Amino acid sequence: MILDGRPIAQKLESNIAREALEFQKNYGIKASLHIIVIGNDDVANLYAETTLNKLKALNMDGGIHRFPESTSEKDVTDFIKKLSSKKEVHGIIVNAPVPKNFDLRAILSSIYSEKDVDGQNPYNLGMLMLGAEEHAPATPKSIVRILEEYKVQLSGKKVCIINRSPVVGKPLAMLLLNRDATVNICHTKTEDLPSLSRSSDIVVVAVGKPMFLKEHMVAENSVVIDVGINKYNGKIVGDADFENLVKKVSMITPVPGGVGSLQTVMIIEQTLKNAQKLMQR
């Protein structure tokens, strides 16, 4: 079975469109997400445009704030702090990648925790470790949403996460522990990864290498979540050898159309939730 993320995204979007319209009627303003882009990376720019268009289609609003590579990091963090303090701003994200002379972590940390809709601020990550999911990062949230929508049992199940970053692996571990899964965090230094992934009920792979997760690395009837997005022979593919795995496992996410189809809408949903909460104060 293919775990298609697109119908989940569509359902979320139609809920958001309805609730955002109601928000606008109630408060006379639109819920708004602000996107920071530093330098002129094509992917960061394209993603910002796509997100803004989606926001507008869903009765929300937003802005793209572009900074040239020559800007100082302090100018960016000062701008973000000022933006964070504005009542009409309900969410802020910084599009990766940023130029090498910028510290992405420092920039992310300058977003006020209550407007940090991708959950990358240290305070929000710490709250996540304490069990609070209110500001969890979008990618792990997307993964859990897919698993839950397709009613994959998590309690007691063995999950092998092949990624240890604070964007995917570590926060995902926290979300899965909250759902009573047993979580094995693996990475480049893991010895004998194939036997660990093969003895797991669910494998989440996010390594940025096409065809990395092969047939011998997964069990029959297991569930595979592919977080990779790679260019390979002119196509966009994930980290899994999809064609062969789909015949062996019980469920697998496609790339594109899996986790990636949910990430932006999760950020937009979080922005709307923030807006509702901030206005109810």
Q: How far apart are CA 172 and CA 114, in angstroms?
A: 20
**Around Cβ 130, how many Cβ atoms within 10 Å?**
8
Applying CB under 8 A, among 30, 90, 115, 157 the residue interacting with a copy of itself is 157
Residue 55 lies near a copy of itself (rule: CB under 8 A): no
Residue 54 lies near a copy of itself (rule: CB under 8 A): no
Which of residues 70 and 188 has its CB atom nearest to a copy of itself in the complex?
188
Residue 166 lies near a copy of itself (rule: CB under 8 A): yes
Q: How far apart are CA 77 and CA 79, in angstroms?
A: 5
Q: How far is the CB of 108 from a copy of itself (least distance, A)?
A: 9
Nearest CA among 26, 31, 27 for reference residue 56? 31
CB-CB contact of 271 with 142 (8 Å): no
Q: How far is the CB of 204 from a copy of itself (least distance, A)?
A: 14
Which of residues 32 and 120 has its CB atom nearest to a copy of itself in the complex?
120
**Selected range binding a copy of itself among 3-11, 67-75, 127-135, 236-244, rule: CB under 8 A:** 127-135
Q: How far apart are CA 199 and CA 137, in angstroms?
A: 27
**Selected range binding a copy of itself among 20-28, 84-92, 187-195, 257-265, rule: CB under 8 A:** 187-195
Instruction: Kindly state the tokens that stand for 272.
Output: 């709307």
Residue 182 lies near a copy of itself (rule: CB under 8 A): yes
Q: SS3 of 159, please?
A: strand
